[in-house]
Amino acid sequence: MLQISVIRENTEKVIAGLRKKHFANAENIITQVLEIDTQRRQAQKEQDDTLAESNRLSKQIGVLMKEGKTAEAEQTKIQAKNLSEEAKKLVDKVNELEEQLRQILVTIPNIPSEQVPEGKTAEENVVVHQHGEIPNLPENALPHWELIVKYNIIDFELGNKVTGAGFPFYKGKGAKLQRALINFFLDEAEKAGYYEVQPPILVNKDSGFGTGQLPDKDGQMYYVGADELYLIPTAEVPITNIYRDVILELKDLPIRNVGYTPCFRREAGSWGADVRGLNRLHQFDKVEIVQIQHPEKSYEALEEMRLYVQGLLEKLELPYRVVKLCGGDMSFTSALTYDMEVYSAAQKKWLEVSSVSNFESYQANRLKLRFRDENKKVQLLHTLNGSALALPRIVAAMLENNQTTEGIRIPKVLRPYTGFEKIG
């Protein structure tokens, strides 16, 4: 959530940033925010002045009584009482205006960094790095949704029977490959200085609000109504919320956490060729990295996280590219996002497998996640996270790119984890 002080002091910059994100009616909404804020501050001043005058008169009553000015003291009591009642009305007015302000602020996305390119759709994202050679597969190469049937490693029909579309079963070497990737990603994160946590996969409304999924993505999350809990769309939600309502010390920074969880997304309205097979699921496995950083070091940390994810893709021998998202293709909460895409040779297209993002203070403001600086002043921290990595499209690309006449080759780095060199 944007700080009201930022909107007040950098109005034109905020409006320009929201326009870059193609946020509708940016100027009108920011104008409305400032008007309510002005009313709120005026009401707060009236409340403070009224209470101060009431307190002043209350102190006078005792003096007047001692001086024997009973009639004047009684009159002063009436004035003080009237002022106290007026102050109570002003408290209600301030609270009402604060709630109006909050209701609007939660609908306003984060403003993008100056580094974010202009653009409205994914076609206008900017490729900043590319690595590896595109595999040259034979004409009869199969897409992964046919390979998984051929080698009986992932079963969509069984998943559809037991649960529904988008909830596959992983079987045999398919299940072992999933476990191998998860353990590989966790081990690599630990080597890079990330502290592992295993969070719950259900969160409450406050947690969903803290990281910005609620109210923005309410319809995309699975909701357990009886208990008012949500299935997580990513481990970012529970891990970042560890630090909700926390004030950290400088010595605590930076914080680096990693966690593996299944993730759940309704993906309402998704259809077509782009969602075949593993391209888009309702339940999938992901290892997530999260950083809590000093505001002056968050962009340095973002580059570090980007390079780390690139290193994972290189160890998996996958051709990939790094894309800087344009304003119109960014998430609600992000200030700057890099997408990592691997090339799927049988599908002949790039598949997003990771997003690494800096949210600056946007999430921290919702979370009330702060630190004490060198002068003991309390300030908001910056939060970052990234997929390191999401499994479905990694598996899809690995299966397609590594298919041979003898079977599917397993990358060397994974063989100690799988216990086998090929599927087939």
Asked whether the beta carbons of 240 and 359 are under 8 A apart, the reply is: no
Asked whether the beta carbons of 348 and 134 are under 8 A apart, the reply is: no
Interhelix angle 26-66/11-20, nearest 10 degrees: 140
Is 38 annotated as contributing to ligand binding? Answer: no
Place of tokens 């597969």: 137
Asked whether the beta carbons of 76 and 57 are under 8 A apart, the reply is: yes
- Here the tokens at position 410 are 């397993």
How far apart CA 100 and CA 107 sit, in angstroms, is 12
Prior bond of 215 cis (ω within 30°): yes
Is 354 annotated as contributing to ligand binding? Answer: yes
Torsion of CA 303, 308, 309, 315, to 10 degrees: 150
The full length of the chain comes to 424
Torsion of CA 256, 262, 267, 270, to 10 degrees: 110
Neighbours of 148 (CB within 10 A): 25
Residue 24 Cα to chain centre, angstroms: 21
How far apart CA 79 and CA 72 sit, in angstroms, is 11
Is 54 annotated as contributing to ligand binding? Answer: no
Within 253-297, where are the H helices? none
Strand partners, 170: 154
- Here the tokens at position 142 are 């199969």
How far apart CA 126 and CA 124 sit, in angstroms, is 6
Is 249 annotated as contributing to ligand binding? Answer: no
- The one-letter code for the residue type at 72 is E
Is 352 annotated as contributing to ligand binding? Answer: yes
- Here the tokens at position 144 are 């992964």
Is 353 annotated as contributing to ligand binding? Answer: yes
Is 385 annotated as contributing to ligand binding? Answer: yes
Is 355 annotated as contributing to ligand binding? Answer: yes
Is 265 annotated as contributing to ligand binding? Answer: yes
Quick one: which of 325, 330, 323 has its CA closest to 21? 330
| Pairing of β 407-409 and β 403-404 | antiparallel
Is 234 annotated as contributing to ligand binding? Answer: yes
Binding residues for L-serine: 234, 265, 288, 385
Binding residues for ATP: 265-267, 352-355
Q: Which residues are annotated as a binding site?
A: 234, 265-267, 288, 352-355, 385
